Structure 1
Amino acid sequence: MAYGESFLSKVIDTNDTGAFLRYDIRAEHFPTEAERKAYRFIKDYADSNGGQAPDYRTVVAECAGFTYMPEVGDSFEYMARKMRNDAGKLRLHSFLTGRDVGDKFTELSTEEFATWLIEQTEQIRSETATRSKVGTDIKRDTVTFLDEYRKRKEGTSFKIWKSKFPTINKEIGGYLSGNVYTWYGRSGRGKSIFTMEEAIEAAAQGANVLVWAMEMSRFEWMARAYSSISARQGAVNANIGGVDYEVGFENRALLNGKLTEEFEQGFEQFLTEINEIIPGTIVVRAVDDIDFSSRRVRDLEADIVATKADVVVIDPYYYMTYEANRSKTTGGDATETSNKIRALAGRYQCVIHGITQAEEVRDDRDDEGNRELRPPTRAELMKSKSFLQDSALTIGIDTLDGIGIIQLNKGRNGGEGVTLEVVYMPNYGLVRELPSGEAAADQFKMPF
């Protein structure tokens, strides 16, 4: 059936040229040149006549080959769906039987060809997909809202994963699934450590955690994680600078294979108990993994699906393979990547922690040249402002001589401007918020 001619005829009969816009019908959705010519004529006529459609006789006279279909009973929605489906099949057939497919198959590797093929077919799919409804009507869709509300009440629709740092939980209620959280600081200040702590905290709550560690080897990440997890258990008593602490196995000793025999036995025993300590899972994709050469958003999506990730850590954003800069603007590749990462969080209802760099500054030293703790501001968010815009919360960090500071810089759900101090001794797995006031002085007498 000629759904294109039927659609055009109904537009004429009902004087409803707005149907083209409502159902996103464009010239490429019509299979014949006569239909495309009639479509363009009706559009041009409406533009010049206050949105009115021309008389059917005028269209037939002006557009040779167009057949007018009187009294069409099918709905616009039904015909639009049929038209877009037919247009999609024609485009797919033309593409798959065209010369480009054979040429690309010959010149590209299997992985590159598969990637290119997916991109091309996805573009055709998106351009011919049917849109029957726009958004949500807040008056008519109340049942949908109540259904989601009840799911949230029961904890089956979304989750909040608590932070390791009590102040963050107090200010924003924890990390809400479907959101992106961006951590940033100047080079070498502990961004990877802080996000690792949050990854472990989520796994301790039962989350499936996926870590893309693009700066750290697998062994190094695991050694740091084992130090942190064992510190939570108070596996080792250590005197540091004259102060006694319950800490974890020393990270440097793990990295160098130099635990004492006693600690080595204790460490092996600790590993046998880790399933009880961490009920969730942590899957690490590290920089030295042989199969970790492709780092695009679609690869991240595949890993999220495979691991059923509730929480994701991207360390850092800028070591991903950025998406194509379709806007041809400065930073457009990072913007496209940031937008797609934000979409992933929503689509799979996971929490995504991402890392980026802050601008280096010269005003973090006192009059004597000693560096002071100074978390970066929003304006110092480096690499791309898109990560600031797409994040529910941006978190600036700084560390110095066993102390760290976390500042909540941009909070969609509150907390903006709040700072908290932490004891920061990652070599012993000890990264913990300092209590405020007198309790802090009594509990943590820092030896520095």
Structure 2
Amino acid sequence: MNYGTLLISKAIEANDPNALLRFNIAEADLPTQGERKAFRYVMQYAEQHRGQAPTAEMVTNEVPDFQPDFNIEASYDYLAKNLKEQAAEREFIELVNGRIDPETNRQVKAPQLAEKFEAAQKSGDMGSFFEWLTKQAESLKMRTNVRNSVGTDIKRDIDKFKAEYENRKAGESFRIWRSKFDFINRAMGGYVSSNVYVIYGKSGRGKSAIALEEVVNCAMQGANVLIWSMEMGWYEVLVRLYVSISGSLGVTTATLNGVNMEAGFNSRDVRQGNLNEEFEAGFMEFLGQLNDILPGNITVRGVDDEDFGSRTLRDLKSDIIETKADVVLVDPFYYLDYEANTSKTAGGDAANTSQKLRRLAGHTKATIFALTQADEEDEKDSEDGPRELKLPQRKGVKKTKALLEDAALLIAVDTNAKEGRGMIGLNKGRDGGEGESAEIIYLPQIGVVKQPEAGEAAAAQFEF
């Protein structure tokens, strides 16, 4: 069946040329020269005559090799879907066999599939071939997309709204992950799926530690977590994760300012494989029980993973789909392989990547934490010695200012591990909360990173 002819004819008969736009029909979807000429003529006529379609006689007079067919009972949606599937099939055949000019019966396009495969074999770079093949498959899939409306209609789509409301009520299409820090939950209600949250601070001030605490807390709520760690190796990340989890369980007891508190294994001893016999036995028992301890799961990509050479958003999307990730940590954002700078402006590559990361969160319905650095400032210790905790301002987001606009929440961090204290603040919240902050106990080396409870001191030297 000639779906292209039927679609154009239906648009002419119904005086609705905009239907071809609504259903995302492109000239390249049409198989014959006559249909493409008729398509161009109908669209140009509509543009010049306020959306009106030309008559059938006008079209056949202008394009003699196009013959309208008005015996049409099928819907636009049906015709458009089949037309696009046929177009994708033709494109696939061209990849495999090349393209033959029907008029001259000569090949005008070489078969790309065999050509690319042979080149990859010769160079020994099969990875690039598979990357190209994946792009072609995604392009073909996109080719079959049919858009039958623009956006969501506030009146017409009430049933669509009700269905989404019920899904959210059941927790199926919408999740809120509680923060480990109560003041964030009070201010924001937690972290919402399909959003990007940016955690930033100066170098060495605990950004990664705070982020790991948050994603561990999400995994404790049942989330599948994906961590892209582009500065730390996988072993270091796992040490931090295990210490954090053990701290939340209180496998050991520590004393701060004379107050006993639950703590975890010592990260330095775990990192160096230097736990004493008693603690090593306890640590191995803890690892053996991890399936029961952690309701969700955490997958780590470390900087030293051999298969972690490509760090594009396409790769990130693939990993999100593969791991079924609900929560994603990108540490740090500026180590991603940036998207092309299509705007040709300074910082355009980072800005384009930030925008597409936000879009990726929406498409995958994942909650994404992106880490970046704050601008450095000269600091001086106070007269009494200890450094004053100072949260970076929102204008201090370094590397890309686009994160300011694309993030649902900016979380500023400053810590002092030597003194066992820190501060977290909210500098921009799309849903409110700007200006909220809280001091925390900050002892990540033993898995204690939390808001202080009654009787606990947040700022004091800790001996261990």
> Normalization by structure 2: what TM-score?
0.85
Residue type of the partner of 1:416? E
Q: CA deviation at 1:241?
A: 7.2
> Gaps spanning 5+ residues in structure 2: where?
99-109
Maintained 8 Å contact 1:212/1:315: yes
Alignment of 1:116-131 (within 5 A): 116-131=132-147
Aligned position for 1:102:
114
Structure 1 match to 2:191: 175
| 1:386 equivalent in structure 2 | 402
User: 1:412 pairs with 430, 442, 449, which one?
Assistant: 430
Q: 1:215 to 1:79 in 2, by over 3 A?
A: same
**Structure 2 residue 365 is matched with structure 1 residue 349:** yes
User: Where does residue 204 of structure 2 map in the other structure?
Assistant: 188
CA distance in 2 between partners of 1:2 and 1:280 (Å): 51
CA contact (8 A) 2:439 2:458 kept: no
Q: In structure 1, what is the Cα distance between the partners aligned to 2:3 and 2:213?
A: 58
Match in the other structure for 1:84: 84
1:323-344: CA deviation from partner (whole Å, max 9, x where unpaired): 3444444444334433443344
Once the two structures are overlaid, the 10-residue window that deviates more, 194-203 or 376-385, is 376-385
Aligned equivalents of 1:431, 1:83: Cα separation in 2: 58
Aligned residue runs from structure 1 range 305-320, under 5 A: 305-320=321-336
What stretches of structure 1 move > 6 A for 4+ residues in a row?
Answer: 366-370
Aligned match for 2:268, one of 252, 267, 287? 252
Q: 1:151 to 1:39 in 2, by over 3 A?
A: closer
- 1:413-444 deviation digits (Å, cap 9, x = unpaired): 22122111111121222211135xxx5xx421
C-alpha separation between the residues in 2 aligned to 1:174 and 1:183? 14
For residue 226 of structure 1, report the CA deviation from its aligned partner.
2.5
What letter is aligned with 2:14?
A: T
Q: Could you tell me how far 1:179 is from its partner in structure 2?
A: 2.2
* Cα deviation 1:213-232 (Å, max 9, x = unaligned): 22112221222223222222
Matching of residues 10-21 of structure 1 within 5 Å: 10-21=10-21
Deviation string, structure 1 residues 362-391 (Cα, Å, up to 9, x no partner): 4x5478798532222222222223333332
- Matched letter for residue 147 of structure 1: A
Check if 1:333 corresponds to 2:349: yes
Question: Equivalent residue of 2:68, what SS?
Answer: coil
User: C-alpha distance in 2, partners of 1:237/1:346?
Assistant: 42
Listed as ranges, the matches of 1:152-231 within 5 Å are 152-231=168-247
Partner of 1:299: 315
Equivalent pairs counted in the alignment come to 442
Who is 2:8 aligned against?
8
**Farther-moved stretch of structure 1 (237-246 vs 370-379):** 237-246
The one-letter amino acid of 1:404's match is G
Sequence identity (%): 46
| Structure 1 counterpart of 2:117, one-letter code | F
Aligned residue in 1 for 2:32: 32
Tell me if structure 1 keeps the 8 A contact 2:421–2:458. Answer: no
Task: Tell me how far apart the structure 2 counterparts of residues 261 and 402 of structure 1 sit (CA, whole Å).
Answer: 27
Shift of residue 166, structure 1, vs aligned partner: 0.6
| Whole-Å separation in 2 of the counterparts to 1:275 and 1:58 | 71
1:321 partnered with 2:334: no
Q: Which piece of structure 1 moves more, 27-36 or 112-121?
A: 27-36
- Counterparts of 1:94 and 1:69, CA distance in 2: 28
Report how far residue 196 of structure 1 moved: 0.8
Code of the aligned partner of 2:240? R
In structure 2, how many angstroms separate the alpha carbons of the residues matched to 1:293 and 1:186? 26
Q: How far apart, CA to CA, are the structure 1 residues paired with 2:458 and 2:316?
A: 43
Report the CA distance between 1:59 and its aligned residue: 2.7
Deviation at 1:194? Answer: 0.5
> Corresponding residue for 1:443?
456
Amino acid at match of 2:54: P
In the superposition, the TM-score normalised over structure 1's length comes to 0.88
The amino acid of 2:327's aligned partner reads V
1:280-291 aligned at under 5 Å gives the runs 280-291=296-307
Whether 1:428 aligns to 2:446 is yes
SS at match of 2:50: coil
With over 3 angstroms needed to count, the CA separation of the structure-2 counterparts of 1:96 and 1:175, relative to structure 1, is: same
Structure 1: gaps (5+ residues): none
Q: Take 1:133 and 1:407, find their aligned partners in 2: how far apart are those partners?
A: 42
1:284 Cα offset (Å)? 1.7
Change over 3 Å in CA distance of 1:195–1:56 after alignment to 2 = same
How far 1:184 sits from its partner (Å)?
1.2
- Give the 3 Å change call, closer, same or farther, for CA 87–445 of structure 1 in structure 2: closer
Distance change in 2, residues 1:331/1:272 (3 Å): same
Question: Could you tell which deviates more after superposition, 42-51 or 283-292?
Answer: 42-51
CA contact (8 A) 1:251 1:428 kept: yes
